[in-house]
């Protein structure tokens, strides 16, 4: 079934589940890139290995330019994915990014962060890894787009991509010699607005879990607090599964089943539902922090990230800290950044990974000529892709096509 937006629900679900499951998972170095990294819409440029030491030379950096229109006066949309090191940007099937950028958009750029996916390099190359170096890579993309005739662009970041986009916008605002396309608008979805102290990440997930469970049958809290946990699945498997489900928020949509929908068979005793639930829990994977995550996130965003999680007493508990041995020595502070472009925030009020409280700190402290927040009720970490999927084309077309960037008076959903 396809609605007027070209929405392909099962395809989108598969894409997001894949992204969430592989978030922070180990990215193996490989001598041979995937075939889609060599597709005709892949553009290659040379960027410095280190922007602080240009004598170290350059490496080949790839980005994906999906062209749908020859009119270069229409802004190209550049998507910056989360992670760092978790979510892919470049895709073997750009249309699978439907819930991130609607198909009706004309020209789109997808990126992979240096050292990941289509931008993996030989392990002997010691790439400079910081949000600023990632931002400078985008500046190099913009220079290339300028040569290709693009005059304006919209920068769209999701999750860690909001930190990345903030850095890019700031570099442009403070560089009087910048000769790339003009930044028409900044779009930030699932906003990182402050650093996470030790224990704060799992606290945020547990608070959202309790809020969602409170909307359902009270027996669910008792069931998840039991020992052993139901369905003969381990504390680790349960923690990993629920951790993933929380990203969806409360959907009331069978295409995006949330925690309450997933757990319903535990109350009804439906055998088929229980078998499906057990299978999904059993297939959940333990995530692992990548090298780029440890080098960037652990020094700029969070004091702890645990790849090993367990469900104990109805709460998710981290068993290890992948940031051990690293210091949060360059904490992200949005008050130090500015942009010359209007900025639209898209934030779910049930986001467990980038909670509303922190998104508000970015909104309050980031310097922009115009700021607007679209707060989405019951949404988790992917509000534009799930709760607002029917509105996404209208939102982006409004930004792209109208003289006034945000001409609509967006209201709380």
Query: CATH code at 157?
Result: 3.40.50.1820
Residues 176 and 208 in one domain: no
Q: How far apart are CA 341 and CA 339, in angstroms?
A: 5
**Cβ-proximal residues to 413 (8 Å cutoff; 6+ apart), any chain:** 374, 375, 376, 377, 379, 387, 388
> Is residue 280's pLDDT more than 70?
yes
Q: Provide φ and ψ at 33, rounded to 5°.
A: -80, 155
Residues 301, 306, 307, CA angle at the centre, nearest 5°? 120
> Is residue 273's pLDDT more than 80?
yes
Residues 158-175, mean pLDDT to the nearest whole number: 97
Q: How far apart are CA 242 and CA 209, in angstroms?
A: 9
One DSSP character per residue, 51-116 reads: SS-GGG-EEEEEEEEE---S-TTSPEEEEE-STTSSS--S-SSGGGGTTTS-TT-S-EEEE--TTS
The pLDDT value recorded for residue 24 is 38
| Of the candidate ranges 2-11, 171-180, 341-350, the one whose mean pLDDT is the lowest | 2-11
In a domain, 413, yes or no: no
Distances (CA, A) of 163 to 33, 66, 80, 82, 157: 27, 24, 10, 9, 8
Task: Pick the more confident residue, 178 or 24.
Answer: 178
Residues 254 and 362 in one domain: no
Q: How far apart are CA 319 and CA 71, in angstroms?
A: 53
| Of the candidate ranges 193-197, 305-309, 312-316, the one whose mean pLDDT is the lowest | 305-309
**Total count of domains within the chain:** 2
The pLDDT value recorded for residue 286 is 79
Residues 166 and 285 in one domain: no
Residues 28 and 152 in one domain: yes
Residues pairing with 374 in the sheet: 346
Whether a cis peptide bond, with omega within 30° of 0, leads into 53 is no
Q: How many helices (H) and strands (E) does the chain have?
A: 11, 10
Q: Where does the pLDDT of residue 402 fall: very low under 50, low under 70, confident under 90, or very high at 90 and above?
A: low
The pLDDT value recorded for residue 300 is 97
- List, for residues 45-83, the tens digit of each pLDDT value: 999 999 999 999 999 999 999 887 777 888 899 999 998
Residues 259 and 368 in one domain: no
Domain termination residue (choose one: 318, 347, 377): 318
> Is residue 333's pLDDT more than 80?
yes
**H/E element holding 400?**
helix 392-401
Residues 365-376, mean pLDDT to the nearest whole number: 94
Residues 62, 23, 25, CA angle at the centre, nearest 5°? 90
Distances (CA, A) of 184 to 78, 107, 210, 405: 11, 14, 40, 8
Residues 151 and 61 in one domain: yes
**Cβ-proximal residues to 268 (8 Å cutoff; 6+ apart), any chain:** none
Residues 222-228, mean pLDDT to the nearest whole number: 96
Residues 75 and 121 in one domain: yes
> Is residue 243's pLDDT more than 60?
yes
In a domain, 310, yes or no: yes
> Is residue 404's pLDDT more than 70?
no
Q: 3-state DSSP call for residue 185?
A: strand
In a domain, 411, yes or no: no
- Is the distance from CB of 349 to CB of 356 less than 8 angstroms? yes
Task: Pick the more confident residue, 128 or 9.
Answer: 128
- Is the distance from CB of 187 to CB of 179 less than 8 angstroms? no
> Is residue 389's pLDDT more than 90?
no
Residues 25 and 146 in one domain: yes
Residues 309-322, mean pLDDT to the nearest whole number: 92
Residue 304 neighbours by CB distance under 10 Å = 20
Domain termination residue (choose one: 318, 343, 361): 318
Q: Which of 198, 190, 229 is closest to 383 using CA atoms?
A: 190
The pLDDT value recorded for residue 20 is 45
Residues 66 and 182 in one domain: yes
The pLDDT value recorded for residue 401 is 72
Q: Where does the pLDDT of residue 305 fall: very low under 50, low under 70, confident under 90, or very high at 90 and above?
A: confident
Q: How far apart are CA 224 and CA 230, in angstroms?
A: 8
Residues 243 and 294 in one domain: yes
The pLDDT value recorded for residue 147 is 96
Residues 158 and 256 in one domain: no
Range of the domain at 302: 200-318
In a domain, 412, yes or no: no
Domain termination residue (choose one: 289, 318, 347): 318
> Is residue 245's pLDDT more than 70?
yes
Q: What percent of the chain has pLDDT over 70?
A: 86
> Is residue 1's pLDDT more than 80?
no
Q: Which of 119, 46, 124 is closest to 83 using CA atoms?
A: 119
In a domain, 14, yes or no: yes
- List, for residues 130-141, the tens digit of each pLDDT value: 999 999 999 999
- Is the distance from CB of 219 to CB of 267 less than 8 angstroms? yes
Q: Where does the pLDDT of residue 289 fall: very low under 50, low under 70, confident under 90, or very high at 90 and above?
A: confident
One DSSP character per residue, 121-161 reads: --TTS----SHHHHHHHHHHHHHHHHHTT--EEEEEEEEHH
Residues 184 and 211 in one domain: no
In a domain, 217, yes or no: yes
- Is the distance from CB of 80 to CB of 122 less than 8 angstroms? no
**Residues, the chain, total?**
413
Q: How far apart are CA 95 and CA 65, in angstroms?
A: 13
**Cβ-proximal residues to 161 (8 Å cutoff; 6+ apart), any chain:** 79, 80, 81, 82, 83
Task: Pick the more confident residue, 355 or 321.
Answer: 355
Residues 235-245, mean pLDDT to the nearest whole number: 95
Q: What percent of the chain has pLDDT over 90?
A: 66
> Is residue 14's pLDDT more than 60?
no
In a domain, 410, yes or no: no
DSSP 247: G
In a domain, 221, yes or no: yes
Q: What's the mean per-residue pLDDT of the chain?
A: 87
> Is residue 44's pLDDT more than 60?
yes
The pLDDT value recorded for residue 93 is 75
Q: Where does the pLDDT of residue 87 fall: very low under 50, low under 70, confident under 90, or very high at 90 and above?
A: confident
The pLDDT value recorded for residue 69 is 74
């Amino acid at each position: 079934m396809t609605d007027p937006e070209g929405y392909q629900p099962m395809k989108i679900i598969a894409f997001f589940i894949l992204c969430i499951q592989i978030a922070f998972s180990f990215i193996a170095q490989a001598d041979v890139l995937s075939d889609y990294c060599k597709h005709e819409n892949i553009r290659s440029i040379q960027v410095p290995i280190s922007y602080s030491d240009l004598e170290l030379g350059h490496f080949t950096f790839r980005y994906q330019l999906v062209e749908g229109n020859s009119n270069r006066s229409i802004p190209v949309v550049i998507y910056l994915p989360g992670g760092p090191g978790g979510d892919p940007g470049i895709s073997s099937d750009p249309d699978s990014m439907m819930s991130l950028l609607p198909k009706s958009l004309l020209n789109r750029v997808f990126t992979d962060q240096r050292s990941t996916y289509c931008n993996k390099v030989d392990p002997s190359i010691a790439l400079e890894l910081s949000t600023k170096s990632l931002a400078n890579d985008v500046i190099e993309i913009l220079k290339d787009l300028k040569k290709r005739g693009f005059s304006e662009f919209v920068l769209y970041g999701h999750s860690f991509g909001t930190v990345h986009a903030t850095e890019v916008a700031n570099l442009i605002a403070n560089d009087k010699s910048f000769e790339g396309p003009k930044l028409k608008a900044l779009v930030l979805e699932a906003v990182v607005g402050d650093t996470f102290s030790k224990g704060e990440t799992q606290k945020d997930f547990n608070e959202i879990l309790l809020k969602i469970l409170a909307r359902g049958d009270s027996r669910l809290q008792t069931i998840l607090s039991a020992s052993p946990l139901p369905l003969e699945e381990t504390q680790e498997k349960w923690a990993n599964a629920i951790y993933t489900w929380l990203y969806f928020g409360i959907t009331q949509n069978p295409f995006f089943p949330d925690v309450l929908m997933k757990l319903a068979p535990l109350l009804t005793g439906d055998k088929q539902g229980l078998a499906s639930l057990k299978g999904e829990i059993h297939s959940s994977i333990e995530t692992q922090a990548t090298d780029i995550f440890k080098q960037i996130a652990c020094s700029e965003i969070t004091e702890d990230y645990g790849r090993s999680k367990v469900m104990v007493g109805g709460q998710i508990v981290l068993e290890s800290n992948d940031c051990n041995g690293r210091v949060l020595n360059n904490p992200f502070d949005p008050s130090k950044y500015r942009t010359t472009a209007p900025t639209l925030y898209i934030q779910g009020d049930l986001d467990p990974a980038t909670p509303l409280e922190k998104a508000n700190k970015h909104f309050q402290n980031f310097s922009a000529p115009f700021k607007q927040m679209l707060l989405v009720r019951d949404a988790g970490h992917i509000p534009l892709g799930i709760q607002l999927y029917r509105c996404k084309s209208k939102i982006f077309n409004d930004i792209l096509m109208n003289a006034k960037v945000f001409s609509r008076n967006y209201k709380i959903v």
